[in-house]
Amino acid sequence: LVARKNHKQDTVIILPGDVTVGGLSSLMVAGPCSVESELQTRTVAAALQKAGVRVMRGGAFKPRTSPYDFQGLGMDGLRILREAATEYGLLTISEIVDPRHIDQALDYVDIVQIGARNMHNFELLKAVGELNKPVLLKRGLSATLEEFLHAAEYIMSRGNTQVMLIERGIRTYEKWTRNTLDISAVPILKQESHLPVLVDVTHSTGRKDILIPCAKAALAAGADGIMVEVHPDPATALSDAAQQLNIEEFNTFFDEVKASGLFR
Ligand code: PEP
Ligand code: MN
Average pLDDT over residues 201-226: 98
Any domain includes 211: no
Please name the amino acid found at residue 170. I
Residue 47 is predicted with a pLDDT of 98
Would you say the CB of residue 139 lies under 6 angstroms from ligand 1? no
Is residue 252 situated within a structural domain?
no
Going by C-alpha positions, the residue among 190, 213, 193, 191 that lies closest to residue 201 is: 213
Structural domain contains residue 259: no
Give CA separation, 42 vs 89, 113, 189, in Å. Answer: 12, 21, 35
Q: What is the CATH number of the domain that holds 167?
A: 3.20.20.70
User: Would you list the DSSP string of 30-91?
Assistant: EE-SB---HHHHHHHHHHHHHHT--EEE-BSS---SSTTS----THHHHHHHHHHHHHTT-E
Spacing, Cα 187 to ligand 2 middle (Å):
25
Ligand 2 centroid to Cα of residue 19, in Å, is: 24
Domain that includes residue 99, residue range: 4-62+70-202+218-229
- What per-residue string of b and e applies to 162-198 under the rule 16 or more CB within 10 Å gives b? bbbbbbbbbeeeeeeebbebbbebbebbbebbbbbbb
* 95 burial via Cβ count (<10 Å: 0-12, 13-18, 19+): buried
Q: Which atom of ligand 1 is nearest to the CA of 113?
A: 2
Tell me whether residue 209 is in a domain. no
What pTM, to 2 d.p., does this model score?
A: 0.98
**Ligand 1 midpoint to CA 23 (Å):** 24
In a domain? residue 213: no
Displacement of CA 113 from its chain's centroid (Å): 7
Mean pLDDT, range 226-230, rounded to an integer: 98
pLDDT category at 256 given cuts 50, 70, 90 is very high
Atom of ligand 1 nearest to the CA of 33: 3
Does the beta carbon of 168 lie inside 6 Å of ligand 1?
yes
Give per-residue pLDDT as tens, 163-174.
999 999 999 999
> What average pLDDT score do residues 166-190 get?
98
Q: How many Å apart are CA 251 and CA 259, to the nearest integer?
A: 12
Contact, 29 vs 57, CB < 8 A?
Answer: yes
pLDDT of residue 188: 98
134 assigned to some structural domain? yes
pLDDT band at 79 (very low <50, low <70, confident <90, very high): very high
**Mean pLDDT confidence for 62-83:** 97
Average pLDDT, the chain: 98
Q: Is the CB of 178 under 6 A from ligand 1?
A: no
181 lines ligand 1 (CB under 6 A): no
Residue 28's pLDDT is 98
- Domain membership flag for residue 162: yes
Does residue 55 contact residue 81 with C-beta atoms inside 8 Å? no
Assess contact for 202 and 229: CB atoms under 8 A. yes
Which pLDDT value is given to residue 108? 98
Task: Supply the residue whose CA is at minimum distance from atom 10 of ligand 1.
Answer: 116
What are the φ/ψ torsions at residue 213 (nearest 5 degrees)? -60, -35
Number of domains, the chain? 1
- 145 pLDDT band, cuts 50/70/90, is very high
Alpha carbons 94 and 60: distance in angstroms, whole number: 7
**Best mutation site among 113, 141, 170 for ligand 1 pocket (most ligand atoms within 8 Å of CB):** 113
CB of 95 shorter than 6 A to ligand 1: yes
Testing ligand 1's pocket by substitution, the residue of 62, 69, 95 carrying the most ligand atoms inside 8 A of its CB is 95
Q: Is the CB of 190 under 6 A from ligand 1?
A: no
Q: Is residue 257 part of a domain?
A: no
